[in-house]
Amino acid sequence: MRKLLAPAILAIVSAAGGATIAAAADPDPVIGTWQLNVDKSTFKPGPAFKSQVRTYSPSGQSIAVVIKTVHADGKETTTQVTYQLDGKDYPVTGNPDADSNSVKQVDSNTAKFTLKKAGKVVQTGTRTVSKDGKTLTVKSKGTTAKGEKSEDVLVFDKQ
């Protein structure tokens, strides 16, 4: 019995290690730093941001994102959230319009997200990384804290 147990344990450990290596070799293509291309983006109702930089990084089984925005009036904000691609709500800090975010993977390059404020959906959308990995497009529809309807298409270049 002992002779069979050792190879079985070795096989399980090897398989788990192989899965970890495979997962590390094929990270989410959103990982990295992205600079907003204001000229290619649309902001409804507007005005457009002066700039935005998004930095996505792995955090254990989660993804952490830091979004640094310079608004049209020059005011700077930093939004942060650490989430998993499981559709569950995770806390958002630094965003006056939302306090939670849920994200669900659609395919290897696309994820759907839902932002909420006090449990109420305020924005939905998708984030898609181009096949060549050089462009991130974030499409969203929602309502701002001021009650304005918004529909934005933000286009980012990988840095």
CATH number of the domain bearing residue 41: 2.40.128.20
The reported pLDDT for the residue numbered 88 is 98
Given a contact cutoff of 8 angstroms between Cβ atoms, the answer to whether 118 and 136 are in contact is: no
Q: State the average pLDDT over residues 86-115.
A: 96
Q: State the Cα angle at 141 between 140 and 146, rounded to 5°.
A: 120
Q: Which tokens sit at 64?
A: 């952490």
The reported pLDDT for the residue numbered 19 is 40
Given a contact cutoff of 8 angstroms between Cβ atoms, the answer to whether 63 and 31 are in contact is: yes
Does some domain include residue 16?
Answer: no
**Residue 20 burial (CB < 10 Å; 0-12/13-18/19+)?**
exposed
Q: State the average pLDDT over residues 17-24.
A: 42
- Closest of 56, 68, 21 to residue 129, by C-alpha: 56
The reported pLDDT for the residue numbered 13 is 39
Query: pLDDT tens digit string along 69-84?
Result: 999 999 999 999 999 9
Does some domain include residue 129?
Answer: yes
Q: How many domains does the chain have?
A: 1
> What domain range includes position 37?
28-158
Mean pLDDT for the chain? Answer: 87
Cα gap 3→121, rounded to integer Å: 57
For the chain, percent of residues with pLDDT exceeding 90: 77
Does some domain include residue 93?
Answer: yes
Q: State the average pLDDT over residues 93-114.
A: 96
Q: What is the band of 26 on the pLDDT scale with cuts at 50, 70, 90? A: low
The reported pLDDT for the residue numbered 99 is 97
